[in-house]
A and B are shown apart, each in its own frame.
Chain A
């Protein structure tokens, strides 16, 4: 049995136990029921259905956002990035620690239908869950090389890159819906007044949306790549947020979703915080 299949069996055994002894009312995991081998989210509430649970390198979707608003205790099959998302949802008071049972999967990284590593997985730094109730190990999981921030670019070059990516965007907002962190009841893009969204897929609207969203995710992105994976148009949605995440790490030494105790970078203020970007603050570089 392959290491992944062993992990999958452990997931099923665990789900069976959790449901049988009523530790959890629902187990959210993956079922091999998608097109092209994609494993899709599945909600298991009955022990007789645990056979549907799988775990392989196509367990792509981030399941964390399904926890928001659920009643009763829920167990979640969590890749390390999903677990980071769960942690941040707890830190941001969206869910309660006691309401969730984290089945932390050691993760070898996910692939696309053709078997190529997903971009976010290629450079993933966290391949074991930082917080879990039980850990399902995979001895073959190896640390990967750190992701380098993009080299500083000039304004023109930045704009050229943005324009090139955004030409593909159709403003369908699937990146927002796939993002665990985009849980606002009403997104700023959907507010009527002011009219943020001119209902036209032009570059101005795209800039407003993608830059606005990137800023809202400062210090909150867990680098799961769900936005990029969700994008049917093939836009590298993640690169802007990656930049912002890099800034937060550099300025405040904060990594999102690694600890239940750390104060989130954007929810705390120290008088000696570096003030890059403030008017009159230090220049960046």
Chain B
């Protein structure tokens, strides 16, 4: 580990921004969000963005290909991006996303392009924010190794660790006086079992009727904002748009909370009620992704708890499900 001044970090970001898009926590006048910004205005405090930075490796709308009767051209145009200030919960979420998109039977070339082009600079949290529960999941709020460079905020300076070759190369662009060498890389704390989480052995169907989903989710207004700001929610749909005699195919975020998500062409909806849909969200997070990848798809970032207009608390729901699952 080595220390560099925050001002020097700004210089490095400015340098990187010459050839890459810089994304970092920014104050939009009301809340903090990750967005395209410049090295001078990127926030270097401990505030957490209301939404995760997932849109920069899994965009809300992404063109996949353009095709006509005769040919199809894949869209390989991915802007190289520096994501600065991702929190350890975001990085652990990225580990989950990576498992979903890259480690299954198929590797997703679009996600892969983002991952290989992006430079991810994580910053550890100094303190728990209201609603945060990464500790209850056994995660470390100060550190994750699923990034290229990890920073620890020590006031005017950052402790710096590079965790990949990409990170090392980026740090080599620091001004001569601030060169860092990193020995003794830390490794991330592994979640120690099922603090909040379901055993991957349980059959989901036993939880369909034995949990009182209606009561647990009675106040949910069905807005689905929780899925948009969540760092691990990754459901999508495809949309074809005709343009200039060709068809452009887009991948767009979708949400299990929306009734349209499972609406059949016949008009039948297998998840007809909000309780059905919320059940899907909870079981997908804590059970299905775990069955498929070994990771639960929740890292305790607390965003859904903080932003839900009516305070629906996924932790309370998950714990109630665990009680039944025991």
Q: Which residues of A contact B (CB under 8 A)?
A: 33-36, 38-43, 60-61, 65-66, 113, 167-168, 170, 172-174, 176-178, 190, 198-202, 226, 229-230, 232-234
B224 touches A172 (CB 8 A): yes
- Interchain CA distance A177-B258 in the complex, whole Å: 11
Q: Tell me the interface secondary structure of chain A in the complex.
A: loop
Residues of B within 8 A of A173 (CB): 223-224
Q: Shortest Cβ distance from A44 into chain B, in angstroms?
A: 11
- Residues in A with CB closer than 8 Å to B239 are 198-199
Q: Does B73 reach chain A (CB closer than 8 Å)?
A: no
What are 18 sample pairs from A and B whose C-beta atoms fall under 8 A apart? A35-B130, A35-B313, A42-B219, A43-B219, A61-B311, A167-B28, A168-B28, A170-B228, A172-B228, A174-B223, A174-B309, A177-B221, A198-B239, A199-B250, A200-B252, A230-B221, A233-B30, A233-B31
* 12 more A-B residue pairs beyond the given contacts A113-B130, A230-B221, with a C-beta to C-beta distance below 8 A: A33-B313, A34-B313, A35-B131, A36-B130, A41-B219, A41-B311, A177-B224, A202-B61, A230-B309, A232-B225, A234-B30, A234-B31
Are A233 and B50 within 8 A (Cβ)? yes
Bound-state Cα–Cα, A202 to B131, Å = 31
The B interface, classified by DSSP as helix, strand, loop or mixed, is loop
- Asked whether A174 lies within 8 Å of B218 as measured between CB atoms, the reply is no
Whether A178 and B224, one on each chain, are in contact in the complex, defined by CB atoms closer than 8 angstroms, is no
Number of interface residues of B (CB under 8 A): 37
Q: How far is the CB of B151 from chain A (nearest CB, A)?
A: 26
> What residues make up the interface of B, taking CB atoms closer than 8 Å to A?
28-31, 33, 50-51, 60-61, 130-131, 218-219, 221-225, 228-229, 237, 239, 241, 250, 252, 258-260, 302, 305-307, 309-313
B313 neighbours in A (Cβ, 8 Å): 33-35
**What is the CB-to-nearest-CB distance from A258 to chain B, in angstroms, rounded to a whole number?**
25
CB distance from B65 to the nearest CB of A (A): 16
Which 9 pairs from chain A and chain B are nearest by CB? A234-B30, A40-B311, A34-B311, A177-B223, A174-B223, A230-B309, A232-B307, A35-B131, A199-B252
Inter-chain contacts of A229 with B (CB < 8 A): 309
Pair B250/A200 contact, Cβ less than 8 Å? yes
